[in-house]
Structure 1
Amino acid sequence: MYTLLDGCLEGLDVLQFLDHVEEGLKDHYDIRMLTFLMLARLASLSPAAVLQRLDRLIEPLKATCTTKVKAGSVKQEFEKQEELRRSAMRAVAALLAVPEVERSPSMADFANQIRTNADMASIYQSVQGGEGGAPGPAESMDIS
């Protein structure tokens, strides 16, 4: 699916493609990791379509970012969840860069949740540091 974005975007029904992306956001670890990459790519390639589906895309991103691993889990489970959270946050950063995203109440609420939760804010800032210069949730949209 990711390859289709690079070579065949003009031939795709992007809204139908987003249906599959939405399902991928709820799938197993490996699929979700790839889907976060596709969502970030779609945010830059087809922002209007992403904005149309934004409310449906936010919930699985929010669920990934807020899920905690059970205390008795093995180290590998903690590492996998942390990688999922970082990848989801990269997708969130890409969504926050879409023009007019501030019009979405669900995105504004999620950006505010990221800003006010120290753990999520830390992850967001760390993924921003690796991508350089993109505004944080507080700067990219008026959430007051």
Structure 2
Amino acid sequence: MITFLIFFCIILSCSLSFSFRLQSNFTIPSITAPIQKRGLTIGSQSSNIDQNSSLEDSEPIYSEEGWLMELNEKNVEGVLDLIRPQLSSDGGGINLSRIEDNQIFVKFTGSCIGCPYRSTTLKEVIENNLTKFLKSPNGSPICVKVIESDN
């Protein structure tokens, strides 16, 4: 019983620190560099757009609502790449399976498969970050679903 309580406390501690690290330390050089190159500012600062610069579809734009990247495989993988190091530090991982309309289907790997905090990680970390950085093509909210196989 004592072993179980110690194990539970360790898991809870890892889960809380994992969530805090992701939410408090979210700078992405590969995403922020193109934004700053175009004269836009990041965060709560005001933004200035250079009228002569043209933004490519694949480059992100920041607004007061958050990051506005198109919902596509490349951008979803980019956001998941930010989350993967934290998952792998606990022995887990996540893979993108497919995207259908505003739904993103992911598959957990490693220790994430049997983790009791998988649904918390999905909602509070993965889904929150995907909706923060991406916009769906039809304006509907982005939904993340876990699948057990790649069918």
TM exceeding 0.5: no
User: Comparing both structures, which one devotes a greater share of its residues to helix?
Assistant: 1
Give the alignment's TM-score, normalised by structure 2.
0.30
Q: Which has the higher strand share?
A: 2
If you compute each CA radius of gyration, which structure gives the higher value, 1 or 2?
2
Give TM-score scaled by structure 1 length. 0.31
